[in-house]
Chain A
Amino acid sequence: MPGITREEVAHLARLARLELKPEELDHFAGQLDDIINAVARVSDVADQDVPPTSHPLPLTNVMRPDEVRPSLTPQQALSGAPAEEQQRFKVPQILGEE
């Protein structure tokens, strides 16, 4: 099982917008390695004949009819917003484009 490198942790941290100190990179690399190795043990018992699954229940095609259900009021929707303006969620300026 290949180990998780510092660089990979740094990459993930950047994608997750987390600021990690150098010592934390090493710390998490070790922890992630442990977690992945623990999960990888599934492969020891699940052979090719066991299909990979992404849901605990053997269900397919759970759908609902295309019928409108009540929504939240705008006040309810915005109640958890850190800031609002013109009945909209207010967020800091978005950097990095144009």
Chain B
Amino acid sequence: MTATTDLVPYEEALASYDPVMGLEVHVELGTRTKMFCGCSTELGAPPNSQTCPTCLGLPGALPVMNATGVESAIRIGLALHCEIAEWCRFARKNYFYPDMPKNFQTSQYDEPIAFNGYLDVQLEDGTTFRVEIERAHMEEDTGKSTHVGGATGRIHGASHSLLDYNRAGIPLIEIVTKPIVGAGERAPEVARAYVAELRELIRALGVSEARMEMGQMRCDVNLSLMPKGGDKFGTRSETKNVNSLRSVERAARFEIQRHAAVLRSGATVVQETRHFHEDDGSTTSGRVKEEAEDYRYFPEPDLVPVAPSRAWVDELRGSLPELPLQRRNRLREQWGVSAHDMQSILNAGAIEPIVATIEAGADSAAARKWWMGELARHANEAGVEPGALPISPEQVARVAVLVKEGSLNDKLARQVIEGVLAGEGGPDEVVEKRGLKVVSDEGALAAAVEEAIAGNAAIADKIRGGKVAAAGALVGAVMKATRGQADAARVKELILQKLGVGES
């Protein structure tokens, strides 16, 4: 159904137009209860088992603010360098939709709790891009509808819908950027990096797990084009509920190409919401906004204003953790890695395991090596984040220490890690059970070296003649003879010594 959408090649589109983006991200807070009632927010409960008169919108029920919800909103605002309102209110956003049992959503309108901030994001090559934040406000989630009778839960062709209100009333923070201009061809990358950085930030604050695949964090991508060098924004489209980092990037890219095609044909872009399709990365038309939306916002009379004292705000500011980007920059310096490498470590989800492994006594190069090599491979195969593997940072650190001490070489260390992952016990136990110790008996090693030299006279001559690089073949022979249980560096030393060649 998307085959008919005309697209301009990406580079061509960017040659004629500058993209302007606005990103709206909804974060479901990880509070124990809903925003305005004491119903549990636990996932996976039977349908409609976590509702009450307040979140069902029954007559006479009155909402009361969740203190942790407000606190989380302020902490998010502060982490985004926002100003925090001295006084603000909730508002009713009126519309009829069955997922909203009250017929209005309790939200904030012209008095958001946080406003005027920014978030610095880092692109793949290490460039920092500042995304300005318009506002962050508090609101509530809607219920979940299932459409019956149509194909695979879609509205189209459905005969009726079924509603589960367990999610209705769960606190949401909506974070809205100011128009993002000047990103040019990197706009889709900036969009992705922004959502990724925001996710890191939300997790560092501990206010939500922000798992996009679970709908705990969702992004709407607003995009328009203006002629290159212009300053008047074009008509925008709003692609709703883009639910992965990759999709955010693809949706922005697709819309740039689509808008360019519309504009180039002389037509005008329709202001509308669009749906993103994971399968082919396209968007299709949703609801056309014929008239400016009229939600008839008015101040929520059932809730009193929020007036966070400056003392409370300062206390919350003082309790903020180190922000993720700062922390990554600090670690990058400590570890002596490039921005690009740090990005790979971040993308692999390996920052926390590496930090913990270093704390447990490994040196940073070894910690990175194991988590980004052997363990990343295992994690990939298992389809989990490295931190979820059945090996602890302490155990990885122990392996690193054993290697450093010379009682394991890399090959044996890999076997130890395999053993730990297979549930054979801790590193020392695996070493013991599998008999994995490097041969450190100098006599045995010396004999193996002699043998290797005797059996490879031609190579030995080359080495004597100064071709030190040829020693690799002899090291290989010794390693083979000792079934891999020798310290390769020590073997090389012995070979060179024996042949009277010093290592340059």
Contact = CB atoms under 8 A, between A and B. Distances in A.
Given A67-B33, A69-B37, A71-B52, 11 more contacts: A62-B64, A63-B66, A67-B32, A68-B32, A68-B40, A72-B51, A72-B53, A78-B48, A87-B164, A89-B98, A98-B286
B306 A71 contact: no
B299 interface: yes
Contacts of A60: 87, 304-307
A43 interface: no
A49 interface: no
B287 A97 contact: yes
Contact of B155 (A54, A59, A78, A93): A93
21 contacts: A54-B300, A55-B301, A63-B66, A63-B67, A63-B70, A64-B65, A64-B66, A66-B68, A66-B69, A69-B37, A71-B49, A74-B46, A77-B51, A77-B165, A88-B162, A88-B163, A90-B162, A90-B163, A93-B159, A93-B161, A94-B98
Interface stretch (B144-152, B173-181, B366-374): B144-152
Nearest to B41: A68
Given A61-B304, A94-B155, A85 B87 contact: no
A19 B156 CA distance: 26
Interface of A: 11, 15, 17, 54-55, 57, 59-74, 77-78, 80, 85-94, 96-98
A87 B146 contact: no
Interface of B: 31-33, 37-40, 46-53, 56, 58, 64-70, 87, 89, 94, 96-98, 145-149, 154-156, 158-165, 275, 286-287, 294, 296, 298-301, 303-308
Given A54-B89, A66-B67, A68-B33, A77 B56 contact: yes
Nearest to B163: A89
Contacts of A94: 97-98, 145, 147, 155, 158, 161
A61 B85 CA distance: 13
A92 B154 CA distance: 14
A4 B202 CA distance: 47
Given A60-B307, A63-B70, A92 B160 contact: yes
B47 A88 contact: yes
Contacts of B303: 55, 62
Contacts of A67: 32-33, 38
A68 B39 CA distance: 6
Contact of A91 (B47, B149, B161): B161
A34 to B, nearest CB: 20
